Amino acid sequence: MKNILFTASECTPFIKTGGLADVIGSLPQALVKENLANVRVILPKYGEIPDQWHEQMEEIASFPVRIGWRNQGAKLFKLEHDAITFYFIENHHYFERHGIYGYYDDGERFVFYSKAVIESLPYLDFVPDILHAHDWQAGLAVAFANILQPVKNMKTIFTIHNIKYQGMLHYEAFDDLFNIPREHFAGFEWNGMLNAMKSGIFHADKITTVSPTYAEEIKEPFYGEGLESLLRDRQGDLSGIINGINTDDYNPMKDPYIHANYQHSRVKKKENKKKLQEMIGLPVKPDVPMYIAISRFVEQKGFHLVEHILHDFLQQDVQVVILGTGEYEFESSFSWFAQNFPEKMATLLKFDEGLARQLYAAADFFLMPSKFEPCGLSQLISLQYKTVPIVRETGGLKDTVHPFNEFTGEGNGFSFQNYNAHELLEQMEYSLKIYHSDKLWQTLLKNVNKSKFSWTDSAVQYAELYKDLAASHTEGE
């Protein structure tokens, strides 16, 4: 079995801002439990990680990390959780802050983190065959590993979870922070800036992304965010493996946050709807279809389309509940709708895991009309809670949600092709028609019940990739 070291910037249950944390918190377990690989995970030790975890960490090493002409101290901590060994890199200056991203020096913070990952390798008591790095925050670790070769024959995989966020630094940072010979500059530079995402793609032995459709899409300008030509150059090493979800954790039978646990029962699901309606002040009408969205409020998630159709859609006998935080435009427009349609719409401006689960359990439909979606976990969670997704056919949404066909009885959701508000509205109105037609609704729910998205299949695909990659050096020698 191969030794794999995951490096990433977030991971449940320690710290989460989005789907990346869910993946890093569940893929290693799936690989280890299925005996497919020995996986350990290395993360920044943020001050924001709850104290209960800090208290369990054990310090195992301390070493300097060279950042240009300075030395920054790093301390390495270790923690066992759920059969996985986690390492954490501490530096108060970079990581003892409110929140985890959004600082003027984010680039430098993750230069430090990536260098510290490389420097920590001798102290791990674990020799990785493969460094598996995730998203731009870990992209430089791939580059440093390939240039510095800290472990003989260690290979690298870089997984793109979202190509929109690339981690850009001024080009002068190469001389100020990197301590890498100048001849390597071109491997980091993109359009006059240093680009951590590009560095990962350029240097990795293999590149993966989180769905087969997204792996194709990012080679095109609409989705490639400027890196499409590089991805086309490397397409022989690029593949897509769909994410799963932790079905033990996201399990409506056992979920401690929800009012009435259930497996397939619509009656129990309606009890959850009633409870939620009471809690958030909507009229208690369990038979009225409820549409929800739970997300970061950013353009990517298709909220411009939702804004456009809400006024029309709220003329129907429906309820809409939106949970999330993000860009001011969306927070204010969704709040406006909630104020003006208090009988039909509620907007909850917060990040709240428990509330999110209560919504997944209560609702009938989940809205996710993304402009682009590398994989998307929310539609999988919603299927797991028997809530029917309505999505745009892009990335992982296209790979996991199949449009309901009332004539053949196939499909587990609703979908539309173009980034167009009319197409979204048309599907929402169609979903309403199906909801009110008993027989078709039952057929659709049967398909939803059959949808399965555990990690096992994906873990097998990653294990294959690890095996092929680790074997490649032996052949080449």
Is position 378 an interface residue for ligand ADP (rule: CB under 6 A)?
yes
Is position 323 an interface residue for ligand ADP (rule: CB under 6 A)?
yes
Q: Which residue is nearest to ligand ADP (CB)?
A: 19
Is position 473 an interface residue for ligand ADP (rule: CB under 6 A)?
no
Residue at 353: amino acid letter = E
**Residue 355: CB minimum distance to ligand ADP, A:** 7
Strand order in the sheet with 70-81: 58-67, 70-81, 84-90, 38-44, 3-7, 130-134, 155-160, 206-209, 238-240
Give the C-alpha separation, 199 to 89, whole Å. 22
Residue among 129 and 135 whose Cβ is closer to ligand ADP: 135
433 is in an annotated binding site: no
CB 218 within 8 A of CB 227: yes
Is position 353 an interface residue for ligand ADP (rule: CB under 6 A)?
yes
**Residue 93: CB minimum distance to ligand ADP, A:** 28
Exposed e or buried b for every residue in 250-284, given b needs 16+ CB within 10 A? bebeebeebbbebeeeeebbbbbbebbbeebebee
Is position 356 an interface residue for ligand ADP (rule: CB under 6 A)?
yes
**Residue 54: CB minimum distance to ligand ADP, A:** 23
Is position 308 an interface residue for ligand ADP (rule: CB under 6 A)?
no
Is position 377 an interface residue for ligand ADP (rule: CB under 6 A)?
yes
Residue among 323 and 463 whose Cβ is closer to ligand ADP: 323
Residues 6+ apart with CB under 8 A from 84: 28, 29, 32, 39, 40, 41
**Residue 363: CB minimum distance to ligand ADP, A:** 12
Is position 22 an interface residue for ligand ADP (rule: CB under 6 A)?
yes
**Residue 362: CB minimum distance to ligand ADP, A:** 14
CB 103 within 8 A of CB 75: no
**Residue 303: CB minimum distance to ligand ADP, A:** 12
Is position 18 an interface residue for ligand ADP (rule: CB under 6 A)?
yes
Is position 403 an interface residue for ligand ADP (rule: CB under 6 A)?
no
Give the C-alpha separation, 107 to 103, whole Å. 9
Is position 389 an interface residue for ligand ADP (rule: CB under 6 A)?
no
Is position 364 an interface residue for ligand ADP (rule: CB under 6 A)?
no
CB 9 within 8 A of CB 113: yes
Is position 324 an interface residue for ligand ADP (rule: CB under 6 A)?
yes
Strands 58-67 and 38-44, how do they pair? unpaired
Residue among 319 and 378 whose Cβ is closer to ligand ADP: 378
Strands 58-67 and 70-81, how do they pair? antiparallel
Site string for ligand ADP, 277-306 (x = CB under 6 A): -----------------xxx----------
Is position 413 an interface residue for ligand ADP (rule: CB under 6 A)?
no
**Residue 418: CB minimum distance to ligand ADP, A:** 21
Is position 362 an interface residue for ligand ADP (rule: CB under 6 A)?
no
Q: For the chain, report the end-to-end CA distance as a whole number of angstroms.
A: 20
Give the C-alpha separation, 156 to 452, whole Å. 30
Q: What is the token pair recorded at 251?
A: 């399990």
Is position 137 an interface residue for ligand ADP (rule: CB under 6 A)?
no
Nearest residue to 154 (alpha-carbon basis) of 5, 38, 39:
5
Residue among 128 and 413 whose Cβ is closer to ligand ADP: 413
Q: Using CB under 6 A, which of 3, 4, 5, 19 touches ligand ADP? A: 19
Is position 248 an interface residue for ligand ADP (rule: CB under 6 A)?
no
Q: Using CB under 6 A, which of 352, 402, 426, 467 touches ligand ADP? A: 352
**Residue 192: CB minimum distance to ligand ADP, A:** 28
Q: Using CB under 6 A, which of 28, 289, 376, 389 touches ligand ADP? A: 376
Residues 6+ apart with CB under 8 A from 444: 388, 404, 411, 412, 434
Residue numbers in the known binding site are: 16
Residue numbers in the known binding site for ADP-alpha-D-glucose are: 16
Which residues of this protein are in contact with ligand ADP, per CB under 6 A?
Answer: 18-19, 22, 294-296, 323-325, 351-353, 356, 376-378, 381
